[in-house]
Amino acid sequence: MAAQQTVDNKYVYDFAEGNKDLKDLLGGKGANLAEMTNLGLPVPPGFTITTEACKAYLATGREPDGLAEQIEAHLESLERGMARKLGDPEDPLLVSVRSGAKFSMPGMMETVLNVGLNDRSVVGLAAQAGGNERFAWDSYRRLIQMFGKTVCEVPGEEFEHAIDEAKRAKDTHNDLDLDADDLRGLVDTYKKIFAKHTGREFPQEPREQLDLAIRAVFESWNAERAVVYRRQERIPADLGTAVNVVAMVFGNLGPDSGTGVAFTRDPASGAQGIYGDYLANAQGEDVVAGIRNTVPLQELERIDKTSYDELLGYMARLEGHYKDLCDIEFTIERGKLWMLQTRVGKRTAAAAFVIAGQLVDEGLIDLDEALHRVNGAQLAQLMFPRFRLDHEFEPVARGIGASPGAAVGKVVFSSDRAVELAAEGEPVILVRRETNPDDLNGMIASRGILTSRGGKTSHAAVVARGMGKTCVSGADELDVNVPAKKFTVAGQTVNEGDVVSIDGTTGNVYLSEVPVMPSEVVQYFEGNLDPERTDDQLVRAVHRIMTHADGTRRLLVRTNADTGPDAARARRFGAEGIGLCRTEHMFLGDRRELVERLILAGTDREREDSLAALLPLQRADFIEIFRAMDGLPVTVRLIDPPLHEFLPPLEQLAVNVAVAQERGEDVAKEQALLAAVRRMHEENPMLGLRGVRLGLVIPGLFAMQVRAITEAAVEVVRAGGSACPEIMVPLVGAVQELETVRAEAEKIIAEVVGDSGVEVLIGTMIEVPRAALTAGQIAEAAQFFSFGTNDLTQMAWGFSRDDVEGAFFWRYLELGIFGISPFESIDRDGVGRLVRIAAEEGRAARPGLKLGVCGEHGGDPDSVHFFHEVGLDYVSCSPFRVPVARLEAGRAAVVTSGSDSR
């Protein structure tokens, strides 16, 4: 029975027993340590306690049965292999205890080094190190510090303060100037700090140190910072962390020892070469802690050529093995190289493309795999303009890159002032401690938003992303004083009107006007950079991967465009048609007059006259668009918004009437308008007289549009071009609505088309939940469906986008009710279910029914994968998102066994 249990619940794996594919069980660090061990690289021996043990501990609040025995057994075998015992007074084995979840996560417990040292073994360690007392006491003080801070929550500053004091006493800034006596003294001070905060002495029993450290790693899975991070990054809360126990090797044994980090390629640019940092006579922590200046890794060649060459050999091997950029931690102990960690390294968006391209060239991966090494979010990042950063521009602060882009403008502190200055044509940056719904107009008027508080899900961040505005949030070095209209940072004061530059990708803030340069990737998409000729590695890689995505994807990609120039640009970006041409802008500008006449028309005759006047204008609009798309399908949506949106606002009209009356002017027309606005006022315009309802109520309105579209197509075709119009009826909820519109439209089309050969499709948007649920009926009358996922989301959730994003989304994100705004990425469970039902039932009723999506989700990476799964024919998105959708549609169509870019 007992033996049975050990087999079922194997909680501890020797490094030799694991491999890189066991990340779920062994965590990333443990799986990769095992992999390196099995590759024969010099990894100090050790073992990994599984995530299963962690989960069991967290579920019950105690170590699961069998864990203690298994740890004991693995520790014994480690001791045998090393021919030393943990914490032995004469010749101690020391270990590190390292957390390591499947995904690396800030906020998790870090590492405790030198476990096993105590008042007696510190003496043994010194003796074993050839009488190097300094080394032994330095190691001991580091144990108390790391153990105190991470296991017992002793405030880290107290230890740092004490070491600073010790250095000050010796009048030095360099920790190497502290000798054995200084460090022995420091150990005493550290122990007092430890006792003061924990109410107990620093534990002397090595095994107790080990057990407490392991338990602390388990518990750190639920530390607040880790929980918040997981929620934001959508990492499941139930993965647990593994714990690695590794025999210590020492980089602090003298000048022939040291520690460093290495990258097999440049994680910033992707360039090939040797990148990394090295620090002589130090333990691992010191490199990251930045207490001494590191030297570039290349220097190691001069310091210790044997180890350097050996390291380079391992780097090449690891890269060939993982087939990707690896980052590595290593330590040299008296000329002997030890590998302490490796993983597939993080990289910038540009490096991701460049490296994927290089790896294909080197024959390490194929193009399918390359597609999975990049993603749409990275491509989108590369399409923003960037700051031209020469050495002259140093950021003064760094916040959170909450919404990407590079924005330059004059600082303002209030929404009103932002609106004022913007109206004068000034670019402005709205600076606030944090924003609230009252700032909305100011945010719209600004080029960018900068706040000193709040993270990626703060009000400012959520709203800015929704608007596509650059935003840096949580730049907490800024002291913002709104009433005084100024902020201070790094000793400098910035007043209203001063120019700042903010980088919404990096979070950097500059107190000057940093020049902005266009994205070379956009230049390429625009056709201004020949990918075959350029020596720009990034452009070549993007071209190659995009070409492969286009060759692989099943989804077509269309664009949302309302004008000829927009349509033309989208085509250059690869759009294969227009999925949504809104017609409302065609009723604005100097055409308002005609629309007013239409609304005020007292007789059929007046109404017909104003429609007749609109007809040639609309026809000209469509001709321009059909020409730009040259035979690609163009979906035109009949007018959608409530007509009163085309009239001046009520308050403004009321004032105009009053003023004009005062002056004794003729106000008949204004009064009529005012009456119309009052009459047409709606409590809930979103749910009011709009879309198909408007077409059924105002005679001749849809008919005029149908005629304009068909005439335009006929004219283009007669002139030798081609045109494929698709007429789309918005806001349909019942098949009868569509049938009525269609009957009238078909008559007009038949009459206009004549023998021109033009074919006009009639279809509908699916954006009202009832339409999705009765899709089988609606498909009888529709030649295509286009999912309007913005409205579908609003109506499925019952909230209006304009009202809720600023009002409470931040709270919902904080609570984890949403992982991401349902307007950014489709809510698969709810809204997505409606899409699925409509797609299935629509196609069942009318096989081959053409299905597309024209909401903003059409350009969202995750949503594109969903639409691929559901089997839509195309997605349609704004021109700039077209390349992102092409890439993601390609990724969705390719299944690889390899790693996915997260």
Pairing of strands 258-265, 272-280: antiparallel
C-alpha of 587 from chain center = 37
Residues 6+ apart with CB under 8 A from 679: none
Partner from Mg ion, ligand ADP, none binding residue 249, C-beta < 5-8 Å depending on class? ligand ADP
Q: Smaller CB distance to Mg ion: residue 304 or 767? A: 767
44 contact choice in Mg ion, ligand ADP, none (CB below 5 to 8 Å, kind-dependent): ligand ADP
Q: Specify the residue, 110 or 609, whose C-beta has the smaller distance to ligand ADP.
A: 110
- Per-residue CA distances from 246 to 141, 151, 261, 326 (Å): 19, 17, 18, 21
Of 558-566, 649-657, 695-703, 786-794, the window that binds Mg ion (rule: CB under 5 A) is 786-794
Q: In Å, how far are 140, 190, 436, 602, 848 from 87, measured between CA atoms?
A: 12, 19, 57, 98, 73
Residue nearest to Mg ion (CB): 791
Q: What is the DSSP pairing of strand 479-481 with strand 633-637?
A: unpaired
Which residue number, 318 or 494, has a Cβ lying nearer to Mg ion? 318
Binder of residue 733, out of ligand ADP, Mg ion, none (CB less than 5 to 8 A by kind):
none
Residue 788 binding partner per list ligand ADP, Mg ion, none, with a CB distance cut-off of 5 to 8 Å that depends on partner kind? Mg ion
Q: Which is nearer to Mg ion, 88 or 856 (CB)?
A: 856
Beta-bridge partners for 272: 265
Minimum CB separation from ligand ADP for residue 111, in Å? Answer: 4
Instruction: Rule CB under 5 A: say whether 276 interacts with Mg ion.
Output: no
Contact between 614 and 566 (Cβ < 8 Å): no
Q: List the beta bridge partners of residue 432.
A: 451
Closer to ligand ADP by Cβ: residue 287 or 461: 287
Q: How far is the CB of 114 from ligand ADP (least distance, A)?
A: 9
- When the beta carbons of 337 and 541 are compared against ligand ADP, the nearer one is 337
Q: How far is the CB of 291 from ligand ADP (least distance, A)?
A: 13
Q: How many CB atoms lie within 10 A of CB 571?
A: 20
List the single partner that 284 binds among ligand ADP, Mg ion, none, CB under 5 to 8 Å by kind.
ligand ADP
* Residue placing its CB nearer to Mg ion in the complex, 341 or 710: 341
Which of the listed partners (ligand ADP, Mg ion, none) does 246 bind, with a CB threshold of 5 to 8 Å by partner kind?
Answer: ligand ADP
Contact positions vs ligand ADP (CB under 6 A): 44, 96, 98, 110-111, 113, 246-249, 284-285, 329, 331, 340-341
Q: Which of 133, 175, 369, 791 binds Mg ion (CB under 5 A)?
A: 791
Binding at 862: pick from ligand ADP, Mg ion, none (beta carbon under 5-8 Å per type): none
Which tokens sit at 727?
């007429």
List 459, 548, 857, 865, catalytic entry: 459
Whether 854 is catalytic: yes
Provide, rounded to whole angstroms, the least separation between the CB of residue 250 and ligand ADP: 7
507 binds, among Mg ion, ligand ADP, none (CB under 5 to 8 A by kind): none
Q: Smallest gap, in angstroms, from Cβ of residue 801 to Mg ion?
A: 11
588 HSE (CA, 13 A, CB side): 8
Distance CA 138, CA 257 (A): 14
Query: 300-328 b/e with 16+ CB inside 10 Å = b?
Result: beeebeebbebbbebbebbbebbbbbbbb
Residue 200 sits at φ, ψ, to 5 deg, of -150, 165
Distance CA 694, CA 692 (A): 5
Given a contact cutoff of 8 angstroms between Cβ atoms, the answer to whether 462 and 813 are in contact is yes
Site for Mg ion, residues 301 to 330, rule: CB under 5 A: 329
Using DSSP's 3-state secondary structure scheme, residue 17 falls into: helix
Instruction: CB nearer to ligand ADP: give 331 or 403.
Output: 331
CA angle 855, 858, 863 (to 5 degrees): 110
203 binds, among Mg ion, ligand ADP, none (CB under 5 to 8 A by kind): none
CB of 368 to ligand ADP, least distance (A): 32
**865-889 burial by CB neighbour count: b if 16+ within 10 A, else e?**
bbbbebebbbbbbbbbbbbbbbbbb
Q: Pick the stretch among 89-97, 378-386, 611-619, 781-789 that binds Mg ion (CB under 5 A).
A: 781-789
Burial (CB count within 10 angstroms: exposed 0-12, middle 13-18, buried 19+), residue 756? middle
- Residue that has been written with the tokens 């009011």 in this structure: 688
Smallest distance, ligand ADP to C-beta of residue 468, A: 36
DSSP character string of 93-127: E-EEEEEEESS--TTS---EEEET--TTHHHHHHH
- Of 97, 109, 94, nearest to 149 by C-alpha is 109
Cβ closer to ligand ADP: 247 or 853? 247
Q: Which single residue brings its beta carbon nearest to ligand ADP? A: 284
| Residue 279 near residue 175 (C-beta atoms within 8 A) | no
Binding test (CB under 5 A) with Mg ion, winner from 100, 260, 345, 788: 788
- Partner in contact with 791, chosen from ligand ADP, Mg ion, none, beta carbon below 5 to 8 Å by kind: Mg ion
Nearer to ligand ADP, 51 or 331 (CB): 331
Q: Is 341 in the site for Mg ion (CB under 5 A)?
A: yes
CB closer to Mg ion out of 341 and 774? 341
What does the per-residue mask of binding to Mg ion show for 741-770, with x meaning CB under 5 A? --------------------------x---
C-beta of 45 vs 448, nearer to ligand ADP: 45
- HEC per residue, 328-381: EEEEEECCEEEEEEEEECCCCHHHHHHHHHHHHHCCCCCHHHHHHCCCHHHHHH
Smallest gap from Cβ 330 to ligand ADP, in A, equals: 7
Min separation Cβ 640 and Mg ion, Å: 6
Structure tokens at 230: 């997981």
Q: In the bound complex, what is the minimum distance in angstroms from residue 220's beta carbon to ligand ADP?
A: 12
Tell me 899's DSSP state.
P
SS3 label, residue 257: coil
Q: Which residues of 235-251 are buried (b: 16+ CB within 10 A; e: fewer)?
A: eeeebbbbbbbbbbbbb
Q: How far is the CB of 289 from ligand ADP (least distance, A)?
A: 10
Q: In the block, which residue shows the tokens 């050839």? A: 130
For residues 64, 68, 69, 72, the Cα torsion angle rounded to the nearest 10 degrees is 150
User: Taking the complex as a whole, how short is the minimal distance between the CB of residue 103 and ligand ADP, in angstroms?
Assistant: 12
Instruction: Give the shortest CB-795-to-Mg ion separation in angstroms.
Output: 9
Whole-number Å distance between alpha carbons of 464 and 471: 6
Our CB check for Mg ion shows the closer of 183 and 214 to be 214
Is 585 marked active-site?
no
Residue 91: name its binding partner from ligand ADP, Mg ion, none (Cβ under 5 to 8 Å by kind).
none
Residue pair 359/365 in contact (Cβ under 8 Å)? The answer is yes
Out of 581, 724, 854, 877, pick the active-site residue: 854
CB atoms within 10 A of CB 805: 22
From the CB of residue 739, how many other CB atoms can be counted at a distance below 10 Å? Answer: 15
**Residue 113 binding result from Mg ion, ligand ADP, none, given CB thresholds of 5 to 8 Å by partner type:** ligand ADP
Q: Give the footprint of Mg ion on this chain (CB under 5 A).
A: 329, 341, 767, 788, 791
By annotation, the residues acting in catalysis are 459, 854
